[in-house]
Amino acid sequence: DTGVSQDPRHKITKRGQNVTFRCDPISEHNRLYWYRQTLGQGPEFLTYFQNEAQLEKSRLLSDRFSAERPKGSFSTLEIQRTEQGDSAMYLCASSFMTGRGYNEQFFGPGTRLTVL
């Protein structure tokens, strides 16, 4: 039973550098979500894809952030010109959307980003 996987699990970078994270969803799931979580807070929604189409972006997703899901499979989240405020856990989740709107999201282990 393979769940959602994320790579890398930890990333330390210097301010101003670009970083890219990868998420592999549960294979039969058609929706993929990105969230960000800081210490003591719940996850905050960033963006989501249905198949390869990016359907929504949160106002939290600044121009320095870009996400892709080529071919509707894995997804990447890139942060350009990282800032110390970008330090957080980046979580990926996937779900299978049906006509009933059934939408339980299953999360990966997260990528912890530290910007020095």
Name the one range near another protein by CB under 8 A: 13-21, 65-73, 77-85, 88-96: 88-96
CB of 14 to another protein, least distance (A): 23
Please report whether residue 25 would count as binding another protein according to CB under 8 A: no
Site size for another protein (CB under 8 A) = 29
Please report whether residue 106 would count as binding another protein according to CB under 8 A: yes
Tell me the two tokens of residue 104: 């339980």
User: 66 - beta bridge partners?
Assistant: 78
Strands (E), 4-87: 5-7, 10-13, 19-24, 31-37, 44-50, 53-57, 65-68, 75-79
Please report whether residue 96 would count as binding another protein according to CB under 8 A: no
Q: Are 83 and 98 in contact (CB under 8 A)?
A: no
User: CA angle at residue 68 from 67 to 69, to 5 degrees?
Assistant: 135
CB of 59 to another protein, least distance (A): 9
Is the backbone peptide bond immediately before 8 cis, with ω within 30 degrees of 0? yes
Please report whether residue 44 would count as binding another protein according to CB under 8 A: yes
By the criterion CB under 8 A, which residues form the site for another protein?
4, 31, 33, 35, 40-46, 48, 55-56, 58, 91, 93, 95, 97, 101, 103-110, 112
